[in-house]
Amino acid sequence: MSLLVVGSVAYDGVETPHGKVERMLGGACTYIALSASYFTKVNLVGVVGDDFHSEDEAILKDHDIDLAGLERAAGKTFYWQGVYSNDMNDRETLRTDLNVFADFDPNLPEAYHKTPYVFLGNIHPSLQKKVRGQSVSPRFVGGDTMNFWIEGTADELAETIREWDFILINDSEARLLSGEHNLRRAAERIQQMGPHTVVIKRGEYGAILFRPEGHFIAPGFLLDEVFDPTGAGDSFAGGFMGYLTEQGVTNLDEASHVHLRRAMIYGSVMGSFCCEQFGVGRLRTLTREDIDKRYEEFRAFTEF
């Protein structure tokens, strides 16, 4: 089984109370792909500029991520810079240079067309729809979005998510998309828009899986120290989709409900690891043993 991931590959500048890094590998697609790579083969679709370092490419290749879909365009790679508040609950964007990402027009290499699992990262909904259209009968397809598209391209977004099996979204985005404050009703409303599976992320408080047959609450992991939360939500997405791909889950059988719950925990595990070092530092050095050990910790602190 393999997983297609489309989204931003970027350089990030990040400042947290624990330090400051001027420029390091980042971008939603990078985090999702690295996180998922511990579970499955990943086919990446993105764009970088001519300033993209071979060392950063090597990080992705070392995790057996297929880069046939990584376009190299003339110009600079997407750059984002932000600073976190002392309690890490807020961040301020200091700079967003879209650069080559502004004209990103994803095209799947022939070899990617039949990838059975598809995660459409946060890009223009029409581009997400286009990638979905190039996929040949995927088994499980969905993605995420953000306030910018919910507010600015509501019609295109509605068109796009109508075809999705699942959506991953944070709580404020879920409220904005649904027009409902209550998360239960927000999820119901979003399910009516298309995806039968809605995952609402709540930052440090964990995430909730909503399915027609009921919901499942995954708590956040209590870290001793959060060094850098950048990419935690994307790492969650990578763990969630990576595990489902590994298990070959579809929506048609009873077992998939159990796997979806476990995928929520693997997502939470990967999100928690992500925060332990700056950028992709921790996601580079994990082992599947580390991951499974933390998964068992989740069981230990939730069982009653």
| Chain centroid, CA 16 distance in Å | 21
Structure-derived torsion over alpha carbons of residues 61, 74, 233, 161, reported in degrees to the nearest 10: -110
Instruction: Decide: 242 and 156 in contact? Cβ < 8 Å.
Output: no
Q: Does 114 bind a copy of itself (CB under 8 A)?
A: no
Closest alpha carbon to 280 in 6, 86, 21: 21
Q: Does 179 bind a copy of itself (CB under 8 A)?
A: no
Contact segment (CB under 8 A) with a copy of itself among 45-53, 55-63, 200-208, 241-249 equals 200-208
Q: Does 192 bind a copy of itself (CB under 8 A)?
A: no
Minimal distance in Å, beta carbon 301 to a copy of itself? 5
> What is the total residue count of the chain?
304
Closest alpha carbon to 12 in 2, 25, 31: 25
Question: Residues 61, 162, 184, 293: which binds a copy of itself (CB under 8 A)?
Answer: 184
Subset of 24-83 contacting a copy of itself (CB under 8 A): none
Question: Residues 63, 130, 262, 282: which binds a copy of itself (CB under 8 A)?
Answer: 262
Closest alpha carbon to 84 in 28, 19, 32, 27: 19
239-258 footprint of a copy of itself as x/- string (CB under 8 A): -------------------x
Under 8 Å CB-to-CB from 69, ≥6 apart: which residues? 6, 43, 44, 45, 46, 106, 107, 108, 109, 112
Minimal distance in Å, beta carbon 302 to a copy of itself? 6
Which CB atom, from 110 or from 303, has the smaller least distance to a copy of itself? Answer: 303
Minimal distance in Å, beta carbon 207 to a copy of itself? 11
Question: Residues 32, 198, 208, 291: which binds a copy of itself (CB under 8 A)?
Answer: 208
Closest alpha carbon to 122 in 87, 85, 78: 78
Closest alpha carbon to 45 in 35, 32, 58, 54: 32
Bridge partner residues of 11 (DSSP): 25, 79
Instruction: Decide: 100 and 113 in contact? Cβ < 8 Å.
Output: no
Question: Residues 111, 181, 253, 292: which binds a copy of itself (CB under 8 A)?
Answer: 181
Question: Residues 90, 252, 289, 301: which binds a copy of itself (CB under 8 A)?
Answer: 301
129-168 footprint of a copy of itself as x/- string (CB under 8 A): ----------------------------------------
Q: Is 118 helix (H, G, I), strand (E, B) or coil?
A: strand
3-state SS of 213-255 is CEEEEECCCCCCCCCCCCCHHHHHHHHHHHHHHHHCCCCCCCH
Subset of 212-241 contacting a copy of itself (CB under 8 A): 214-219, 222-226
Contact segment (CB under 8 A) with a copy of itself among 2-10, 101-109, 180-188, 247-255 equals 180-188
Which CB atom, from 20 or from 185, has the smaller least distance to a copy of itself? Answer: 185
Contact residues for a copy of itself, defined by CB under 8 A? 86-87, 181-185, 202, 205-206, 208, 214-219, 222-226, 258, 261-262, 264-265, 299-304
